[in-house]
Each structure stands twice: as C-alpha cells, then as structure tokens.
Amino acid sequence: MSSYGDHPSGDGRATVNGPGQGRHRQGRVDDDDYVRGMRDRYAAAEAPPAGRARVPLREGAPTEPGPQRPAAAGRRPFPGLDFLKRLGKSRKRKALTIAFAAFIILFGSTTIVVTYFVDNVEMLDPKNLANAQVTKIFADDGKTQLAQLGTENRETIPMSILPDPVKHALIAGEDKDFYNHHGVSISGIVRAAWNNITGGDTQGASTITQQYVKIATQDVEMSIFRKAREAVLARKLEDKYDKETILGFYLNNVYFGRGAIGVQVAARTYFNKNAKDLTVAEAAVLGAVVRQPEETATFAGYDPQLNPQAAQDRWAYVLNNMKDADWLSDADRAAQQYPKTILPIRKDAGNAQWGLKGVGQTGLVTGNVVNYIAEELKAAPYSIADLKTGGYRITTTIDSKAQAAAESAARRGAPGSLMTGQKANVMAALVAIEPKTGRVLAYYGGDDATGHDYAGKNIENGQLTGGHPAGSSFKIYTLAAALQDGYSLDSHFDPAAFKDGDFEIENAGRDVDESCGNYCTLEWATVHSYNVPFYKVTKLMGVDKVVAMAKSAGIGTMWNTGDGKAYDLTSKTFKQTDNAPFYYHAGFGQYPITVIDHASGVATFANRGLYNKPHFVLKVERPIAGTDKFQLVNGEKLSPKQTIDQDVADDVNYVLQKIPGAGGHTLSGSRPVTGKTGTWQCQQTKHNCHAWFVGATKQIAAAVWVGNVGKEQAVYEKSGKDVSGAGLPGNIWEKFMNAASKGMSEQRFADKAGVGDPTKGEPGLQEPRKPGKCKWIFFCPTTEPTRRGRG
C-alpha cells in the first residue's frame, strides 16, 4: 500500500488495518490496579455464607472480544464491570495521548524550528533537483521518434497546456481539496502520526503539496520527524508558489508506473497520446493508478493490466471525488465510460530501449545512430551527460522511409527481407548517404547496437575493429588515383596472371576476355573486375596515391591484414609510403574498410568529387523552461570540399554506370545509376568470406556488405554457391535503391570527360598485330594466346 493519500475503500478517510476495523490491543483486565481494587471490594461485600467456599474470578480470565466464562454457582455478576473496563482503556489511551503530545512538543517542535529556519524552499524547485529528463531522437521529419537517452523516463510539460478537467481527474483521488488548503492537512498528519506511533498502518495522509515535497526530498522514511519537516516545507512551498506551479511540480515528477515519470510520459505509456489530449476518463485512469502503480507483496496495485477490478474501482472513486468537488456534473459523471483501449505493459518498460537492442518502438533498428550522435556532439558546448538527461530534442538525418527500405532488404526477420532463410552465420550491413549533403539517410549495422556494429567501427578488447576487405569494389579509388596520375580509361595493361616475387597475382577466377587478349584498357578491366591491371598500376604509381585518393573520397580508416592494426588515414601522423603500411594489393581491395566509409566514398564520386562529411545530426534543441517549446542550440553545418577533380569523378562515374546492368541490377525505369561489385576470399581457401555491392544515383549513394557473424568463414547463397557481389549484396542493394528512390526525379550523371593520356599504360606493352594488318598472312605475328586467371 502506498504511504500517502486516501485508502481505496472510497470513504476519503485514512483507516487502520483496513476499512471499517479498529486496532484491538489484547490484554488482561486485572492488570489495571483500579479495576482490581473495585473488584476486591465488591467480592468482600458479597462474601458467601460461612461454610461455603468462595469462587474467585480466575486470574488471567480473558477479556472481550474473547468468549465469556459463565458465573460460578452462588456468584452474582459485577454490574459495573463493563464500565470499569472502558474506563481503564480510556485512561490508558489518554496516557498514551499525553505521552504522544509531549513527544511531539519535545522533539517535533525542534524538527519544525530547524526545518523552518534551515531548509530553503528553493531546493524544491524542479530546476534545482537532480531530475533526469529523457532526450528524444527523431528522424529527419522531426516527428518519428527513433530512440531516446536517459536514465529516467520523464518529460516536463507546462500545466497551461492541460485542460482543467484533465488536471482535476489527475488529482481528485489524491487531494480533491488541493485548491482550498495551504499545503498541509492537520487532521491527516495527526491521524497518520498516531497510526505510526501506535503500530497501525504507516500512512502519509498527505496533500499533493506534501507528496511533492516527499518526491523532491527523496525522503522515504515513515516517521513523525519526516512528517513534521514535510508539513513545514509544504507550507513554505505554498507561500512561495501558486497552486498551478505546485501542481506542475507534482504532475511532472510523480511516478505512474511502467517506468513513466510525469504525466506526459504516462499518457504516452498508457494511451499513446500526449497528456493534453487525454479524455477525462483516461486522465482518471492515471489519477487512479498513481495511488499505487506497481505490485507489492500485499497488493497488486492499480495498473489496469495487473489488477483490473481494483483499477476500475479506484477509477470510479476518482470520478466520484470530482463530482463531490463540483469538477464534474452529475450528468457528466454518469456519462463516463472506462477506456476500452489501454496499452499493455511493455517488457522493456522503463528501460527506454527504443531500438538500442533489437527492434525498437518504431519497428526499426536505429540504436547504432546513437553512437554516432554522441561522437558528433562530443565537441558541442554541452556535455554528453547533460545531453542524456537534459530533455533535449535531436533531429537526425535518418529518413524513416529509407531506413525502413534498408531494413526490409537487409535485416533478417523483417517482412520481405532477402536475408530471410539465409544461414545463421550470414550477416548484412547497409548504409545510405545523400551525396549533395553527406546526410546519412539509412544505417543498418545489425540488430544489436550494444553488440558489434557491422557497418562501422567498434572497440573490442581494446582494439579498433569493424572493417571488411572491400575486394574489387575498392577499385573505384584505384581507378580515380590512376586518372589523377595521368593515366586514361584507354590506358592498356596485360591482365594475365603473373608472379611478383612471392606473390601470385590472379584475377580471382575470371578468364581474360579474348576481345582484348593481353592488351586491355583500364575501363575494360574495371567493368570486368580484373585484379592484375590494378595491381600493376598501383605498383607503378605507388600505394600512397591510392590511399590518398581513398581518403579524399571519404575512407577514414583502413586495417592492415598482416597485424590487424587500424590506421586513421585522416590523422596528421599517418604516412603511407609507396608500399607500406599497405602493399600493392590495396589496388584491388585487400585491406578492410567500413561500410559507412565506402558509402561516403561512392557519394563523393556521385557528387562529382565534392566531399561532404557523413553526419547524423540536423539540429539539437533545448527545452524552454515553463513551456512546451524548444530553442535551437546546434544546427547542421555543411562544409563541402572539392577533394577529387571533377573530370576524374565524371570519368569514374562513366565507367561505373556500365556495371549494374551487366550484373543484372538496373533500377526501375532505367534510372541512371553507378555500381561496383567486390568479393574477398577466406584465407587459405577459394571460397568467399566477404561480398559487396556499392553504387549511387545522384540523390542516394549506398554500400551493402554481406559477410559472416563471429569468426571468419565461407559465406554461401541459399543456392549453396559462393556468395558474390552481384548475388545477395547486389539483390539487397537493388531492392533498397528502388524503394528509397521511389518518387524521386531521375537525374543524369555528367558525360565522360576523357582525362589522361591513352598512351600511358603498362611499360613495354605493345599492341598485338592482328590478321589483315600485314600483306603476307604467313609472316604476320599471331595474337598471344589467352591466359586464364586462377579462381
């Protein structure tokens, strides 16, 4: 039972040991000297005749309400015994009352004096309390809530937005005389104090002002000293603040169960609406549940899901009190119906999960976004601790339509997901970015934001982890670096497998196309994803130029597969030589990068080399005290930089537009789009562990990775074949891009710029003579036989 307020019996009075039942103290009548003396005198006067034994009243005979012993033969009952019993008990009660009064005067007065002169009522103002309010995180529409931060589930609202009937319904059950008293109920204090000192039920019998004092001081001790201090502080509170302000203090801080602190969160928790939109009947449910929201060992509480009958009885009591206080007419009271729709208790009630672990209240997994928000705002003029508890509103760049499309394609278990039915070790990650702004439109890095993020970076066992070998999808950066270095899309290289020292450089299962033999252009090598030409061009110009180009596009971190160490490419201390710490294999994607970085790189090319840093925050707003309004404290700041030559980006996009259609991944309506596949084999095997598809329209750039959960192992399609970039990742990418692009205008990429020198290519490589080019066919040199790359 709660320690304050009225008893649920409905009579509006505190009771002892339950309604209609006083506390009976068992004892013996003959313990009272006065009664014993009267009894002895009566016995002497009525002594039996000589020779006849007197039957005395047995020592320790029970008193009422126990059974009465019949009078012995020859004995007449004492007619004044009942009066003497009552007189004795009355004298004991008076003695206790006198002792209690002396106790109050001696000790309670000291408490009152100390409280009045020492305790400052300013400490009770909510702005001076350590009350945490949740910070809410929204999608870019400012309406769809994605997540929330905070240790306590509370949100402060001004009382001015609540209709009077709603306010009355919220307090009628606890204090229907709220507007008529000065903060203290003397009779309630005396009654509660008497119960406490005599061993009755501990009760507060408090006004709403006193209840708020208890909340603000966090004083849970049930004692006369606490009650005295509470009363004085309540009186001082009423002297300083008006009733409306005190009501706001109370309704914004009282606990309604289900993890909800304050009426605004309670309204959403029980009815999925704002407090200002509650009906009288709904508000009365909250006014009832606040009496005891949760189950205890002795009572199930007033939550409609835990104790429906008691909840409805208490609800009726609240409405009857409203009628008694003239807050509700007889007709309106009769018209009230108990709400039919009250939300069930969520399993994560009070934990504010909101997608941080598993699917959140929006049906989306957006918890990973919180980590990026914290990182993004760590340099802001407020601390992260303040951000978590200050009741802020953070509007993110996440587009709820794009996020839903990403999860529909990539999240196992989502309706229509392409991951449904895949083996348990298979995981997918997807990130989408708006090229012209760098806004992250969708982010899916796995179902558990408290676990490994497969789309970004992680700190695990003190090490930075998270990247995946990009395979041939990394060749977009190598191609751009070659074009920047003076090569052309028409520069020629021999794509045949060869040995470079201890390394066998192969084309990962691809045959050299007979149409170009040993004299293939960089454009052809890109579309057909040959490794050999990209290894050769990387060695010719130096890995440093490839890494620099990747950094310019948006790759911030690369991992060395030798020692597993992560390198921050943006750090001033990082230095890449022509072959260290990354070797020539960087040219065809051996070294891991993150999904979000790869999406950023593709976005930079789609934006014609104009780089925008990926970001998640559109704006941060702080609550304006005393209102339901917010003020802007931090807005989006865009700083685009031309990090890649525009003509180079145009030539890369020209080539990449040829790939999606060749792999069977054109978009609806033949929307112009770029794309690139990539795979990487498991160590010491010929089976694939990682597969990618990356690409972009002018409006959306997206990167999809498919790999495995936990230790590295081979990943297979549902058909049993090795996963490939054009397979599962390409299908996920296509499904997402079609859904996210729906309704957008079609925008074309710029034409080919034709940068570089077509004659600059592999040194010493001669264009083979072809039949028909010489006069005598017998003496014509033949084309070098086609050589096969190893799978």
Q: Which two tokens stand for residue 694?
A: 């990356």
Q: Beta strands 426-433 and 701-708: pairing type?
A: antiparallel
Nearest partner of 644 among 560, 582, 555, judged by Cα: 555
Q: Give me the DSSP letters along 479-511.
A: HHHHHHTT--TT-EE--S-EEETTEEE--TTPB
Q: Are 737 and 673 in contact (CB under 8 A)?
A: yes
Q: List the structure tokens of 573.
A: 């201390």
**Residue 137: strand, helix, or coil:** strand
Q: Which residues contact 211 (CB under 8 A, 6 or more apart)?
A: 4, 5, 174, 175, 204, 250, 254
Which amino acid type is present at position 735?
K
Amino acid identity, residue 563?
D
- Characterise 39 by phi-psi region: left (phi > 0), alpha (psi -120 to 50), beta (else): alpha
With left for phi above 0 and alpha for psi between -120 and 50, is residue 111 left, alpha or beta? alpha
Three-state DSSP at 47 gives coil
CA distance 758 to 292: 82
- Give dist(CA 353, CA 364) in Å, integer: 12
Taking the chain, what is the end-to-end CA distance rounded to the nearest angstrom? 74
Alpha carbons 367 and 351: distance in angstroms, whole number:
13
Question: What string of DSSP letters covers 367-390?
Answer: THHHHHHHHHTTTSSS-HHHHHHB
350 contacts 269 by C-beta, under 8 angstroms: no
Q: Which position has the token pair 């205008």? A: 745
Beta bridge partner(s), residue 465: 458
- Identity at 236, one-letter amino acid code: K
- Catalytic residue positions? 174, 472
The token duo for 238 is: 């009423």
* Residue 614 in tokens: 């990926």
Q: Can you name the residues that pair with 705 across neighbouring β-strands?
A: 429, 692
- 3-state SS of 682-713 is CCCCCCEEEEEEEEECCCCEEEEEEEECCCCC
- How are beta strands 153-154 and 260-261 bridged, if at all? parallel
Residues 6+ apart with CB under 8 A from 624: 630, 631
Contact between 394 and 134 (Cβ < 8 Å):
no
Report CA dihedral (639, 642, 646, 650) to the nearest 10 degrees. Answer: -60
User: Which helix (H) or strand (E) segment is 429 a member of?
Assistant: strand 426-433
Token pair belonging to 29: 């009548």
Q: How many angstroms separate the CA atoms of 270 and 252, rounded? A: 16
**C-alpha dihedral sign at 633, 635, 641, 644:** positive
Burial of 416 by CB count in 10 Å (0-12 exposed, 13-18 middle, 19+ buried)? exposed
Per DSSP, the three-state class of 623 is strand
d(CA 299, CA 519): 86
Three-state DSSP at 340 gives: coil
What is the sign, positive or negative, of the torsion defined by CA atoms of 608, 612, 617, 618? negative
How far is Cα 660 from Cα 693, in angstroms, rounded to an integer? Answer: 9
d(CA 150, CA 154): 9
At CA 216, angle to CA 212 and CA 219, rounded to 5?
100
